[in-house]
Amino acid sequence: MQILVAAWLAAGNAAALDSPSAFANSTGAADTFSTLGAFDTSNDFFRVLGSNGRSCDTCHRPENGWSLTPDALKARFDATAGTDPVFRTNDGSISPLAAVATLAQRLQAYSMLLSKAVFRIGLPIPEDAEFALVAVSDPYGFVRVGGTELSLFRRPLPTANLRFLSAVMWDGREDVAGKPIHRALINQADTATTGHAQGIPLSADQKTSIVDFESAVYLAQAIDSQAGALVGVGLRGGALRLSKQRFYSGINDLTGDAKTGAPFDPEVFTLFSAWSKLIESAPGDVRAAIARGQRLFNTRPFEIEGVGGLNDAPELGSPATVTGTCSTCHSTPNLGSQSRPRFMDTGTSDEVRRTRDLPLYTLRNRFTGEVAKTSDPGRALITGLWQDLNRFKVPALRGLAARPPYFHNGMAKSLGNVVDFYNGRFGLGVNNRERLDLLMFLGTL
């Protein structure tokens, strides 16, 4: 039975939620919970600390899964004629040189934010990189061979569920080798202020204030528009339950669990195992579909080939082919990230998937002469290593429905596009019903 979120809440079901901070999305509602209690909006996370009117929550909104969505950005653009602080040329426009004097110019300048909710990140090629830029096709006429930076268009990652991170940012550029993730988050808070907000470096107290706030925030889907509450007896949905999830660096790693030594367990998600009995007794029940989707995610085998960071990983024996499941890469229990900082290339930056609104960069290996074309070199711009081309961290999956579009560049508008990408890339072999089951499951995370 279809249960609309508003009606479900009006019927007195709010007590089933982890906190009053529930926001509707395409498949129900996501719930936010803080281990600090009520949200303190006087925290530095919400303060304007730069020169362009931005605060952390300018780009990380709880109603958008602590990220941003195109629909929300369009509403903000329309309400302010494109002058809301999120619309700034230092990173929100297609080029830092974009004209923004008129409404028509602003619509063009912020077209990537409005269509894909991606920001322009300007990064240089490291001086000691194993590769050089030999050609550029930039639809915005900004990047050129011999210039100081490349333009990368990337989605803002959510400032929630940070306790489970193994790397900060898509390319890990804030990470400090040998240091805990807290140090990387401190770096990120500072560089976000000096870069995105165009401010001065934060004080130690300000950095601690921001990181303590966001580290206490948890996000997960709590209501499904068809199945109802995802929290309760036997269920493990919702943000409160997620805040209690066991985690440490290397938990359920592909090389074996870092603490217990146990082998990798592909049964990563157990959120809705209580509904598994319905698969046989009531196969038409929407809860049975969600349970089937969870089972498919954990157990449907397929051949994984050509994934940099996996098929060439020496610690895994550099296997040319891995017979795995979705949970092979999304392996952190009940979260779906990687519990170690492992960056992977599944092909999202490949030339064949580049759309005309993205630049295309031609890179040449300085030692072998090999040439590669990419819309975003990813981790390679941090390490300078040819082998790291197009590699990005494996993102966490909780709260997915609250923050479309997907992948680092926003190339997938919907969860259906995500499933179709992987089905085509790896030949999952899912039929129509299985595809729907997977979508039902992903929408409940």
The crossing angle, in degrees rounded to 10, of helices 181-194 and 204-215 is 120
Q: Which residue has the higher pLDDT, 125 or 6?
A: 125
* Ramachandran area for residue 204 (φ above 0: left; ψ -120 to 50: alpha; else beta): alpha
Q: Provide the residue type at 247 as one letter.
A: F
Calculate ∠ Cα 320-393-440, nearest 5°: 90
Give the separation between CA 389 and CA 157, rounded to whole angstroms: 20
Query: What tens digit of pLDDT does each residue of 422-438 get?
Result: 999 999 999 999 999 99
Check: pTM over 0.85? Answer yes or no: yes
Answer whether residue 15 shows pLDDT above 60.
no
Q: What residues form DSSP beta bridges with 324?
A: 302
Question: According to the model, what pLDDT value does residue 4 have?
Answer: 46
Give the separation between CA 175 and CA 192, rounded to whole angstroms: 14
Q: How sure is the predictor about 22, in pLDDT bands with cuts at 50, 70 and 90?
A: confident
**Are the C-beta atoms of 335 and 161 separated by less than 8 Å?**
yes
Q: Which of 133, 137, 163, 129 is nearest to 149 (CA)?
A: 133
Mean pLDDT of 367-383: 98
Give the separation between CA 221 and CA 134, rounded to whole angstroms: 45
Query: Three-state SS string across the chain, please?
Result: CCCCHHHHHHHHHHHHCCCCCEEEECCEEEEEEECCCCCCCCCHHHCCCCCCCCCHHHHCEHHHCCECCHHHHHHHHHHHCCCCCCCCCCCCCCCCCCCCCCHHHHHHHCHHHHHHCCEEEEECCCCCCCEEEEEEECCCCCCCCCCCCEEEEECCCCCCCHHHCCCCCCCCCCCCCCCCHHHHHHHHHHHHHHCCCCCCCCCHHHHHHHHHHHHCEEEEEEEECCCEECCCCCCCCCHHHHHCCCCCCCCCCCCCCCCCCCCCCCCCCCCCHHHCCHHHHCCCCHHHHHHHHHHHHHHCCEEEECCECCCCCHHHCCCCEEEECHHHHCCCCCCCCCCCCCEEECCCCEHHHCCCCCCEEEEEECCCCCEEEECCCECHHHHCCHHHCCEEECCCCCCHHHCCCECCCCCECCHHHHHHHHHHHHCCCCCHHHHHHHHHHHCCC
Verify cis geometry, omega within 30 degrees of 0, for the bond prior to 405. yes
Q: How many residues does the chain have?
A: 445
Q: How sure is the predictor about 39, in pLDDT bands with cuts at 50, 70 and 90?
A: confident
Question: According to the model, what pLDDT value does residue 38 have?
Answer: 85
Q: Average per-residue pLDDT in the chain?
A: 94
Mean pLDDT of 209-227: 96
Question: According to the model, what pLDDT value does residue 412 have?
Answer: 98
